[in-house]
């Protein structure tokens, strides 16, 4: 039988014509080039996963945490994205701590400057940024994410290999001249190591978390606590006169970039900027004169 004859019969049937034609043609392609068909399936799944990530369906636990904040508008939208991500990052308790802090900021802003939400939005953005720092457990989780692996399968032909350029603080050597950690190439076996590490993310920050002992990880955890303390200070002194300065102050973590030595330098610059903006916040008259 010729393909044209079979397609003509499908059209003459008048039942689910387009779907049946597509099924027939994909079936033929699977015989000719099965790898191509499987790659297209993986590509479609990757797209679906990315769309789902952009418009997440909240679990009951995540929705309860978001609802408890009582935020509206853009602040709520930010929470709906970040709360489920923090649950995946660590657990529900970790996400709840994040939401509880944002809730206090939302309440303080509503009381001091009704109708404004800039401070709440900044807190939702930048507390999340600090809490979701990319440690070894998170790198492992992201590299073993099914959507990410499907996107690789869709992008490259069957039989491709993956190499990882990493600078683990506990293993990497330092450049003798600069003292900076040097990246090293690891083979495909690292994916299995990532899978094991991703399973033990619950150890993060605990006594059995060997990675947490490094200076970089201690600094990242300290940044979280310092920022929460800063938000508490802002909320206690917030008013109409210094609201703009408060938003700018709460947005300082936006200046933190990169990893390793790059991040170290940006943290130092951010701390200097924070001191400057803190003075503007505490002295709103000075802020008006400068404006």
Closest CA to 148 of 42, 259, 36: 42
Indicate the burial class of 273 (C-beta count within 10 angstroms; 0-12, 13-18, 19 or more).
Answer: middle
Per-domain boundaries in the chain:
3-51, 150-206
pLDDT at 39 over 60: yes
Give the pLDDT confidence of 67-123 residue by residue, as tens digits: 999 999 999 999 999 999 999 999 999 999 999 999 999 999 999 999 999 999 999
pLDDT at 47: 61
pLDDT at residue 288 in the model:
46
Q: What is the DSSP letter of 251?
A: T
- Residue 50: per-residue pLDDT: 59
pLDDT digits (tens, 9 = 90+) for 200-220: 888 888 888 777 778 888 899
Question: Cα dist. 75→50, 191, 227, 284, 286 in Å?
Answer: 22, 36, 18, 25, 29
The overall pTM is greater than 0.85: no
Q: Tell me what pLDDT residue 289 has.
A: 40
Residue 242, pLDDT score? 96
Q: Say if residues 67 and 103 touch (Cβ distance below 8 Å).
A: no
Q: Rounded distance, CA 81 to CA 96, Å?
A: 14
């Amino acid at each position: 039988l010729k393909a044209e004859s079979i397609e003509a019969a499908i059209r003459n049937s008048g039942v689910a014509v387009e779907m049946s034609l597509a099924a027939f043609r994909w079936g033929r392609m699977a015989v000719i080039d099965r790898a191509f068909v499987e790659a297209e399936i993986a590509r479609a799944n990757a797209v679906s996963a990315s769309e789902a990530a952009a418009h997440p369906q909240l679990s009951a636990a995540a929705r309860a945490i978001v609802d408890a904040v009582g935020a509206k508008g853009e602040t709520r939208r930010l929470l709906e994205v970040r709360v489920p991500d923090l649950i995946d990052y660590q657990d529900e308790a970790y996400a709840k701590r994040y939401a509880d802090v944002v809730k206090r900021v939302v309440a303080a802003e509503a009381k001091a400057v009704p109708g404004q939400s800039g401070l709440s939005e900044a807190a939702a953005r930048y507390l999340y940024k600090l809490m979701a720092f990319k440690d070894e457990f998170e790198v492992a989780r992201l590299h073993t994410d099914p959507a990410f692996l499907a996107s690789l399968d869709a992008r490259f032909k069957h039989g491709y290999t993956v190499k990882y350029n990493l600078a683990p603080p506990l293993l990497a050597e330092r450049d003798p001249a600069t003292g900076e950690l040097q990246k090293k190439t690891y083979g495909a076996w690292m994916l299995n190591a990532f899978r094991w590490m991703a399973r033990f993310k619950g150890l993060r920050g605990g006594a059995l978390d060997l990675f947490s002992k490094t200076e970089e990880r201690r600094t990242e955890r300290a940044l979280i606590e310092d920022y929460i303390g800063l938000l508490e200070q802002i909320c206690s002194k917030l008013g109409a006169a210094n609201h703009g300065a408060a938003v700018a102050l709460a947005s300082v973590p936006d200046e933190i970039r990169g990893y390793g030595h790059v991040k170290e330098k940006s943290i130092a610059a951010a701390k200097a900027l924070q001191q400057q903006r803190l003075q503007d916040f505490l002295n709103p008259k000075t802020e008006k004169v400068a404006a």
